Structure 1
Amino acid sequence: MRRRDQLAGWLMVAPQLAGIVAFVIVPLGMVGWYSLHEWNVLAGTFDFVGADNYAALADDRELGSVLKATGLFSVGLVVLNLSLALFLAVLLNQKLRGTVVFRTLFFSPVVVTLVAWTIVWGFLLQDNGGVNAFLDVAGIDGPNWLRSGGSAMASVIVVQLFKNVGLNMVLFLAALQGVPAELYEAARIDGASAWARFRRVTVPLISPTILLTMILTIVGSLQVFAQIAVLTQGGPGTSTTVLVYYLYQQAFQFHHLGYGATLSVLLFGIVLVPTVIQWRMRRKWVFHES
């Protein structure tokens, strides 16, 4: 009977295991293998070059600016997304009229197709687009948002922020609704201010959700592609060329597939490091993890 139960268990998880092997483990292994080769699809060559592609990372003059743009985008998006999502969740957790409508409005961009959302914002952010038309009414001469370095990066961050902030808002809202009201009442009786109640009661109890949203947002910010491809194509210059878009350029525009695979390995390491650090540090600040 024990063997039968074990067999039934393995049969239950077999489809999931097969999917992980076929779509995660095998592709990761193939990327590592390709990174050791110089693969020219046009010439039909596939030559083993060892660690030459990894050595080329140190000689790549554009990689520094690419990593800088990636870090700037990731930090800006994560800080703004988590802060705004938590603020909106706290605000919409109040028992006020119309909160359901505002929850729907803030969450609705999440279900909109990413490319469609980005194309619409591309028109709005043009020199003669809707954003500058609105500013012109107020007597402000708006810039060409997507054609100057600083404003282009800020525009991409804001577009992605408005697209996904509703998802984190809903996660925070669910966590806030799970905080026992008795704890807030006890804190009020003890004379705790609203800020003290938030810092001492709310944040510790929703810290598991904060960890989840932080990991998801950081990983998502490091994998951004469609917004860059549609809005700026990495420009002006390389000011918005993040690592994923640079990988795409090397592999599919310049046909350096081996070097593109090497950049994929680099991206995997960059995503893995903060995830592992956050997971290891969770015992120090996540409630119930100490």
Structure 2
Amino acid sequence: MSQHELTRPPRVRAPRSLQRGQRRAGMLFALPATLHVGLWIGLPVLAAFALSFTDYDVFKSPAFVGIENYQQIFSDGEFLRSLWTTLLYAVGTVPVSMALSLGLAVLLNQGIRGQGFFRTAIYLPQITATVAVALVWSYMLQGDGLVNHALEAIGVGPVDWLTDPSVALFSVILISIWQGMGFNTLIYLAALQGLPGDLYEAASIDGAGAWRRFISITVPMLKPATFFVLITSTVGAFQAFDQVYILTRGGPAYATTLTTYEIYKTGFSDFRLGVACAQSVVLLIALIVLTAVNTRTMGEARDGH
């Protein structure tokens, strides 16, 4: 037996009664959240999965049709196009939002003057109702709106931001990035403030510049925060609905019809709730697959593979 083992103080274990009490307390504290998830998320998911195999339109009892709804949606060009549009929306929103949020967090972590004001201003869109944000932007992006007036002042012709099929999705992406940066910036800022300063001091002594310190120290140590932001941003992008509903109603020419809006139309406009449930199940599976891919990718990057 080594000298270290002889001098190490014995490990003191909590009494079994205390351990049982702690487990009970933990279960009691987790019970409200567990009930909430089970009642408002778990049961609806199970119900949607069951109804996805039925012909159901609210006005009559569900009739079992097997996989007919799934065969129908995968032969439906509009639904497949909505999946592609949603993927484009996510690709255009998530990476740009993450990069801008990280840059803003780094700037706000420098102790600049008026830091509190800038933090509040950046986070304010996040806590503003999405419907209100979309309404304000819809007025600003109209043909005679504020944005086009500003462009005309610098000699640029007006742009049909919400009525041109080649521009409408880009407009929705920009608004989503603007509104969602506050939360991501807050996460990155909290992570930055927890990084040890001695690493930066040692790197500075070794002659590493600001960019080198950012690449070699900041980015690797922010991987847990980056993973969290990536997952939440991806899920949020695939669940986006309010912006499209208020700004474009899926138009023009289906250019901004995201999968969530297609599900809404199928279920509450066409009253094909069985088909809408099947579409929801497909969207859920797509989210699970994307989350698994992101988790695996970030895990390999974190392990250095």
TM range (shorter): over 0.9
Among candidates 67, 71, 76, match of residue 55 of structure 1: 71
The equivalent residue for 2:33 is: 16
- The answer on 1:124 being equivalent to 2:140 is yes
Q: Is the 8 A contact 2:126 2:180 kept in 1?
A: yes
Tell me the secondary structure at the aligned position of residue 247 of structure 1: helix
Q: Tell me how far 1:16 sits from its aligned partner.
A: 2.6
- The answer on 1:25 being equivalent to 2:32 is no
Q: How many residues align?
A: 288
- The answer on 1:278 being equivalent to 2:287 is no
Among candidates 108, 112, 117, match of residue 124 of structure 2: 108
The equivalent residue for 1:174 is: 190
Q: Tell me how far 1:27 sits from its aligned partner.
A: 1.1
Tell me the distance in 2 between the aligned counterparts of 1:215 and 1:265. 19
Among candidates 85, 94, 117, match of residue 101 of structure 2: 85
CA RMSD of aligned residues (A): 1.9
Among candidates 231, 249, 256, match of residue 272 of structure 2: 256
Among candidates 257, 272, 278, match of residue 241 of structure 1: 257
Q: Is the 8 A contact 2:169 2:256 kept in 1?
A: yes
The equivalent residue for 1:147 is: 163
Q: Tell me how far 1:163 sits from its aligned partner.
A: 0.8
Q: Is the 8 A contact 1:65 1:239 kept in 2?
A: no
Q: Which has the larger radius of gyration?
A: 2
Q: Is the 8 A contact 1:211 1:286 kept in 2?
A: no
The gaps in structure 1 that reach 5 residues or longer are none
Percent identity of equivalent pairs: 36
Among candidates 35, 41, 45, match of residue 52 of structure 2: 35
Tell me the distance in 1 between the aligned counterparts of 2:194 and 2:20. 40
Tell me the distance in 1 between the aligned counterparts of 2:159 and 2:96. 22
Tell me the distance in 2 between the aligned counterparts of 1:11 and 1:98. 43
Q: Is the 8 A contact 1:85 1:168 kept in 2?
A: yes
Tell me the distance in 2 between the aligned counterparts of 1:23 and 1:45. 23
Q: Tell me how far 1:202 sits from its aligned partner.
A: 0.2
